Amino acid sequence: MVATLGFALVVGETRIPLEVIWSVLRIEAGYTAPEVNPIDHGILWSYRLPRAIVAMACGMSLALSGVVLQALLRNPLSDPYILGLSAGASTGAVAVAILGFGAGALTLSSGAFIGAMLAFGFVAWLARLARGPGSSATSSLALLLAGVAGAQLFHALTALIIAKSADANQARGIMFWMMGNLSGSRWPDVYLAVPVALAGAGVIFAHFRALDAMTFGREAAQSMGIRTGLVMAVLIGVAALLTAVMVSLTGAIGFVGLVVPHAMRFMVGVQHARLIPATALAGGIFLILADIVARVLIPGQTLPIGVVTALVGAPAFAVILVRSSRAHSS
Amino acid sequence: MRIQVENISKSIKGKPILRDVSLTIASGQSLALIGPNGSGKSTLLRVMAGLLSADRGRVTVDGDRVDKLSPRTLAQRLGFVTQEAGTTDAIPVIEAVKLGRTPWLSFAAPFRTNDQQIVDQAMRAMAISEYKNTLFNALSGGERQRVHIARVLAQTPQVFLLDEPTNHLDIRHQIAIIDWVKQQNATVVLALHDLNHAFACDRVAVMNGGALAAFGPPKDVLVPSVIEPVFKVGVQQNHSNYSDHPVLTFVKYKAA
């Protein structure tokens, strides 16, 4: 993680050598260090470092939300983006930002949280209706289609709010909310993202046994002494909060919650005591790397980071979809 | 542990599923729940397991109401095997069995050698030790069922509640499960479809339309006069040199 962070600082429009980075960090920490070109200093300290840290916190949060949703809904294709949580969060954040129910990062996040919870409620309700009576685990198909419906609905609402109330400049922000973008990340964002990511990770890790116990379904977990209703309420709330805060800071970045947990299950196994820390770490690294790619892929232009994660994530999604439908039919 | 079911009634979506069911199982005894499909066996098991709450009546385990105990305490006393619980996770058998230790573990009490011994013992009892590193989803239906029973064995409860544990098992493994029930010192309640297996239990309860149609020792309950009207089949008792109880055979019901 530290190496990736270092890498993120070096790479960019202008290459900054490691010695310079080291000097800047020492100067900012109050030590004496060799003089540094003030432009390099500015790029590093005000742009690249907070941006990389936000990417890390965001990757951690989205990947952990994915782990939680996959375990609780017992569906390998669950992820905050696919289930429409991110879309709901975007709508909530846009409503706050443009319709002006107050301002500032905190109200933006609360708007996003409300949006995410509404979206989740809508998708869960729809999937339940579509599932029909009799079957216990929500089928992948019902959940996916409900997620598609939910995401489209909330995307449409976002577009509507922007089209109705925003000027042309704000309207360009629609890309920001739908594809995700880290270019606006500054230190104040770090102060929100990092504590939220760490607290969320802590709460999720504290429930690793309950998440394990859900392997064979809610009833089995309940018979092993887990208060499943309470655990689901708390952890889905945490997943929605993590998603909401990150979306309000960076827009809706897709597929992180899908790709990272599955890769980690493959590497460390399905036990959450190992899976949660591994996913947090890998999620952070993945998004920092994705952001580096977004910055350097087309010289002189920065891609929305969601484009990069989708390029990796969509094929991975296809693979998981095929494998999980085979597991169901066998 | 002694289980007492007192006047349990339960409706689901306005439809009565259980109607005033009362029965008692002494500590260490086994009870077979039999009855046609939809007669309320599974629902009664879930109410006994504390997974469903009853509308009226109560279930007690050694005098404690199951709906008043904390889920953790209840799980330490009482193990429940659901029908065909599946997963999409690539979980190895040994990890699935380890889950049974959940009600005994916490941050202050991590998984220790003692827990591992209990897990190993449970896998040996269900003859699944050789599959311990195999993925659960690569197993056959019968093997999966044995993994679930091993998981609940690892939970070390004093009461086992099993919802049709012999479903999907070949005859050899059915007999193995029934033998295991007979040897248990714990209290066992199991829903069964094969009426001949019910002879292995100390008590048999016959459910019909959510009510208890008969309750008593197998030799009193598993007789044509009780079974025929409930299951709507003709029943004949045969005697076999291989069996210490009459063997029931069934023919299409001829209404008298």
pLDDT digits (tens, 9 = 90+) for B51-100: 999 999 999 999 999 989 999 999 999 999 987 778 878 899 999 999 99
How far off is chain B from A222, nearest CA to CA, in Å? 7
> CA of A297: how far to CAs of A13, A292, B171, in Å?
11, 8, 63
CA distance A208 to A214: 10
Look at residue A277 and give its three-state secondary structure.
helix
How far off is chain B from A271, nearest CA to CA, in Å? 8
Q: Flag residues of chain A having pLDDT under 70.
A: 12-13, 100-106, 131-140, 166, 168-178, 324-330
CA distance A279 to A285: 10
**Residue in chain A lying closest to B101 (CA):** A224
pLDDT in tens, B131-172: 999 999 899 888 898 899 999 999 999 999 999 888 878 888
Exposed / middle / buried, residue A123 (Cβ in 10 Å: 0-12, 13-18, 19+)? buried
The answer to whether B51 contacts A222, with C-beta atoms less than 8 Å apart, is yes
CA distance B112 to A96: 51
CA distance B17 to A126: 28
CA distance B13 to A200: 38
> Does residue A137 form part of some domain?
yes
CB within 8 A of A269, min separation 6: which ones? A275, B92, B95
Q: By the CB < 8 Å criterion, does B99 face chain A?
A: yes
pLDDT for the residue A323: 76
> Does residue A144 form part of some domain?
yes
Residue A54: both structure tokens together = 């936000």
> CA of B184: how far to CAs of A239, A269, B3, B73, B148, in Å?
44, 34, 16, 21, 17
pLDDT for the residue B202: 93
Half-sphere exposure of B5 (CA within 13 A, CB side): 27
CA distance B174 to A84: 46
Residue B255 has pLDDT above 70, yes or no: no
Q: Which domain holds residue A182?
A: 56-329
Q: What is the DSSP letter of B131?
A: G
Q: Which of B70, B78, B85 sits opposite A217 (nearest CB)?
A: B85
Residues of B in contact with A143 (CB under 8 A): none
Residue type for position A115: G
Query: Any idea what the CATH number is for the domain that residue A324 is in?
Result: 1.10.3470.10
Q: By the CB < 8 Å criterion, does A212 face chain B?
A: yes
Q: By the CB < 8 Å criterion, does B119 face chain A?
A: no
Q: How many domains does chain A have?
A: 1
Place of tokens 């933006």: A108
pLDDT for the residue A273: 93
Residues of A in contact with B155 (CB under 8 A): 224
> Does residue A192 form part of some domain?
yes
Which B residues in the span 199-228 are in contact with A, Cβ-Cβ below 8 Å? none
Q: By the CB < 8 Å criterion, does A324 face chain B?
A: yes
CA distance A300 to A291: 14
Q: By the CB < 8 Å criterion, does A215 face chain B?
A: yes
Q: What structural domains does chain B harbor?
A: 3-252 (3.40.50.300)
pLDDT for the residue A328: 53
Comparing A44 with B48, the larger pLDDT belongs to: B48
CA distance A123 to A141: 12
Q: By the CB < 8 Å criterion, does B185 face chain A?
A: no
Q: By the CB < 8 Å criterion, does B90 face chain A?
A: yes
How far off is chain B from A326, nearest CA to CA, in Å? 10
Comparing B45 with A313, the larger pLDDT belongs to: B45
Q: By the CB < 8 Å criterion, does A327 face chain B?
A: yes
Q: What is the side-by-side strand order in the sheet with B15-25?
A: B15-25, B3-12, B56-61, B64-65
Q: Is residue A60 a contact partner of residue A283, using CB atoms and an 8 Å limit?
A: yes
CA distance A173 to A162: 8
pLDDT for the residue A174: 64
CB contacts < 8 A, A to B, total 76
| Chain A interface test: which of B66, B76, B87, B140 (most A C-beta within 10 Å) | B87
Q: By the CB < 8 Å criterion, does B71 face chain A?
A: yes
> Does residue A167 form part of some domain?
yes
Q: In the predicted model, what is the mean pLDDT of chain B?
A: 90
User: Which pairing describes strands B159-163 and B3-12: parallel, antiparallel, or unpaired?
Assistant: unpaired
Q: Is residue B136 a contact partner of residue B128, using CB atoms and an 8 Å limit?
A: no
Q: What is the side-by-side strand order in the sheet with B211-216?
A: B78-81, B159-163, B187-191, B30-34, B203-208, B211-216
Cα B250 from chain centre? 24
> Does residue A91 form part of some domain?
yes
Q: Which of B74, B85, B89 sits opposite A270 (nearest CB)?
A: B89
> Does residue A305 form part of some domain?
yes
User: Which pairing describes strands B30-34 and B203-208: parallel, antiparallel, or unpaired?
Assistant: parallel
**Among the listed residues A208, A223, A210, A213, the one whose alpha carbon sits nearest the alpha carbon of residue B157:** A223
Comparing B205 with A3, the larger pLDDT belongs to: B205
How far off is chain A from B80, nearest CA to CA, in Å? 6
Neighbour-count burial for B145-157, b at 16+ CB within 10 Å, e otherwise:
bbbbbbbbbbbbb
The answer to whether B88 contacts A265, with C-beta atoms less than 8 Å apart, is no
> Does residue A10 form part of some domain?
no
The answer to whether A74 contacts B88, with C-beta atoms less than 8 Å apart, is yes
> Does residue A211 form part of some domain?
yes
The answer to whether B75 contacts A76, with C-beta atoms less than 8 Å apart, is no
**Among the listed residues A155, A234, A103, A156, the one whose alpha carbon sits nearest the alpha carbon of residue A111:** A103
Q: What is the mean pLDDT of residues B1-12?
A: 92
